[in-house]
Amino acid sequence: MAPNEGARKNHDELFPGHVSTLAVNDPELIEIFDNFAFDEVLRHGNLDARTRLMVQLASMIASQALREYRIMLGTALTVGVTPAVAAHLRRHLKIAAPAPAWR
């Protein structure tokens, strides 16, 4: 079993050429996760990928998820978030949600 066409398209837009190691080890989990995260969730909103990823980056900063932020920053840069916008977002959130890991 594999993720549906919409999930594959949206996943490839954000992570071009990336194949998860879980896709090999647990394809059923990846099918469920990708269909949910990259298809069902996106059908219920109307944010473009750039705006959605800026919101996700902000939430990762606020929740101190540094590792996830680093991964998603690369993804955000592939869909049009500029380095200047990412830095601006980080500066403002550092004031609103200060965390030692972000220094």
- The predicted-structure confidence for 1-34, as pLDDT tens digits, reads as follows 788 999 999 999 888 888 888 888 999 999 999 9
Q: What percent of the chain has pLDDT over 70?
A: 93
> What pLDDT is attached to residue 102?
55
92, two tokens: 């403002």
25, two tokens: 């080890």
Average of per-residue pLDDT values in the chain:
88
Tell me the whole-structure pTM to 2 decimals.
0.79
Side-chain half-sphere of 97: how many Cα atoms within 13 Å? Answer: 14
Check if the beta carbon of residue 88 is closer than 8 Å to that of residue 100: no
pLDDT: which is higher, 40 or 90? 40
